[in-house]
Structure 1
Amino acid sequence: MTSPEYREFELDDGVMSARVWPRAGAPVMVFAHANGFCASAYGRILGQLADRFEIVAPDLRGHGRSRLPTDPETHRSWDIHAADLRALYARLPQAPDLLAGHSMGAVSTLLAASKMDTCPVLALVEPVVLPLSFSLFARWPWHNPLKGRFGLAKQARRRVNGWPDRAGATERYRRHKTFASWAPGVLEDYLADGLVEDANGVHLACDPQWEAANYESQGHDVLRAARVVGSRAHVLRAGRGSTVVNRAGLERRGVTIEGIDGVGHLAPMEAPQRVAAWIAGIAGIADTARG
């Protein structure tokens, strides 16, 4: 199996880091991660796809090894992540043949693709697609109406963010019930770049304030993007606790939705082999489209 390497891409306001599985002459896939995570968390999936793609998995703004400025107080939508992805696509030697992502990364990928002159096939795992009324409410022009109201954001702000060493942090995460259902090795993959060492020990690469702001910043227009992309978008929806709430809205815009039973929103962490197999199937559709 090909091992990933790190590459850095200069954007207008900083550096985006990416894990890259190089494969000269192969089609290119770009995969974007979920809020609070980083590219390293998806190694069990992406490694399985490295025999057919050159894979570029960036750390989004405020995550992992990327060095891009963040301002939780003014953050209003995931359009900023979409803009970063478009900037990344433009800096690749070869245009992407398949765009993929999970949760916030899936939505950001959809938003980015909707503004591309030539849109490739999209494989989107558990994008956050809320009811239309909720999305309209979130786009209130004068202030962020979700600030302080989102349970996940409140939870993120209470998150412990500092340990004496990496081993202690890892052990604490292993004991947490959230990670009990994760496949072997995924937690360690995530913490590889999800933790940052400094003079005082280790802390989270994604600051909890930024993670919380991402949860609350729902001012982007997912359905407009879906209307533009249409049938080129394919969605994998979890069997329980799915964030694809407005399924009908996506389907009316031509998006194909498939289900994955027995897992929740963090399906890539719980069932990496099944998610990788689904992406491989969508890659076959992309191959046909290119042919």
Structure 2
Amino acid sequence: MDAIRLSPPRRLSLPVENRWGAGAMSVLDFGDPKRPVDLVFVHANGFNAMTYRTLLAPLSGTLRIWAPDLRGHGQSDLPANTAGRRGWTDHRDDLTALLEGLDGPPVVLAGHSMGGTSSLLAAAERPDKVSKLVLMDPVIWGRLTVGLFRLPLFDRMASHIPLVKGALKRRSVFESREKALSGYIGRGAFRGWPEMMIADYLTDGLVETSDGFTLACRPDWEASNYAEQSHDPWTAMKRLDRPVRILKAEAGSTCSVATDPRRLPNVTVETVHGGTHFFPMLKADVARDALFDAAV
């Protein structure tokens, strides 16, 4: 195993300024810094780029990978304001800014869950910066549901969504990282995860304060990401003339795109057999192979 593969990712801080507020986007930079970026990978709601270190690091001997922390997550300090928010256009615009700052040829844009959907939205804005997309169980509701989310008063019903209720009840302060780790292992969404991956999540998922260790992604921001769904991934898929590969969980999928999607000639959908929504954590070899196949 070479030195690049063994070395930890570098941390970059990229300025972002748009209508959602200015600040710095934290980006983990894997691989040879002398080569152009090959792949950008975007994390799921509530997590951060470091969570996927063990998924991405084995690819860094061949590829250069950027993994950003989305607004309101990890070490990014972009403002995360829930007031008046309706969808993920803020994440879209932040990723668009990241793509526009890249030198070199178009990149593979990939992501998990919300990160996959946000990547899709950004690629539709700047397709010239993207060669392919790999979306791992992206959050894509059926067309009718997307239409309902776009209605002016529908967001008032969001407080009844179980994921929203769960996020708002989430414990946000811990006495130590060790207490947080012991509290997460084998529980809830983390059931079955490798312990190292949970520890990586907590590395950038907790911020030390005078009150203890606080979640970097505030519960109200995580809840807002679950609740505010007025963005339109179906229109983004129609607009794109780039290959879009969707890997869909067999159980508990958040993706409503059919295996043989009609009128979406550039979209292919595959089911990850035995996979849940968290298959990038539980079946990392499947996710890693898909990223490698797209980028080489």
**Corresponding position: 1:273 with 2:278:** no
**Corresponding position: 1:5 with 2:10:** yes
**Cα distance in 2 between the residues matched to 1:213 and 1:81:** 12
**Cα distance in 1 between the residues matched to 2:15 and 2:116:** 22
Aligned to 2:220: 209
Q: Percent identity?
A: 35
Structure 1 segment 211-230 matched on structure 2, within 5 A: 211-230=222-241
Mapped contact 1:18–1:59 kept (Cα < 8 A): yes
SS for the counterpart of 1:148 is helix
**Corresponding position: 1:233 with 2:244:** yes
* TM-fit CA distance, 1:164: 1.3
Q: Gapped runs of 5+ residues in structure 1? A: 285-291
**Corresponding position: 1:55 with 2:62:** no
Aligned to 1:77: 87
* TM-fit CA distance, 1:136: 0.5
Aligned to 2:43: 33
Q: Deviations over 1:162-184 (max 9, x none)?
A: 11111111111115243231134
Q: Deviations over 1:101-143 (max 9, x none)?
A: 0110100000000111514111111111111111001011356
Q: Structure 2 vs 1, CA of residues 112 and 155 (structure 1 numbering), >3 Å: closer, same or farther? A: same
Mapped contact 2:36–2:105 kept (Cα < 8 A): no
Aligned to 1:111: 121
Mapped contact 2:146–2:232 kept (Cα < 8 A): yes
Q: Deviations over 1:187-242 (max 9, x none)?
A: 11111101111112101110000000000111001000001125511111111111
Mapped contact 1:5–1:19 kept (Cα < 8 A): yes
**Corresponding position: 1:185 with 2:190:** no
Q: Deviations over 1:28-83 (max 9, x none)?
A: 21111100000011111111211222111000000000001112232211111010
* TM-fit CA distance, 1:251: 4.8
**Corresponding position: 1:167 with 2:172:** no
**Corresponding position: 1:259 with 2:271:** yes
Q: Deviations over 1:4-35 (max 9, x none)?
A: 01100001111100111141225521111100
Aligned length: 284
Runs of 4+ in structure 1 deviating by more than 4 angstroms, as ranges, are 248-251
Amino acid in the other structure paired with 1:270: L
Mapped contact 1:75–1:214 kept (Cα < 8 A): no
SS for the counterpart of 2:139 is coil
* TM-fit CA distance, 1:269: 1.2
TM-score of the aligned structures, taking structure 2 as reference length: 0.91
Amino acid in the other structure paired with 1:263: G
Q: Gapped runs of 5+ residues in structure 2? A: none
**Cα distance in 1 between the residues matched to 2:78 and 2:68:** 12
**Cα distance in 1 between the residues matched to 2:276 and 2:293:** 20
**Cα distance in 1 between the residues matched to 2:36 and 2:13:** 20
**Cα distance in 1 between the residues matched to 2:76 and 2:261:** 31
Q: Structure 2 vs 1, CA of residues 163 and 115 (structure 1 numbering), >3 Å: closer, same or farther? A: same
Mapped contact 1:182–1:270 kept (Cα < 8 A): yes
SS for the counterpart of 2:256 is coil
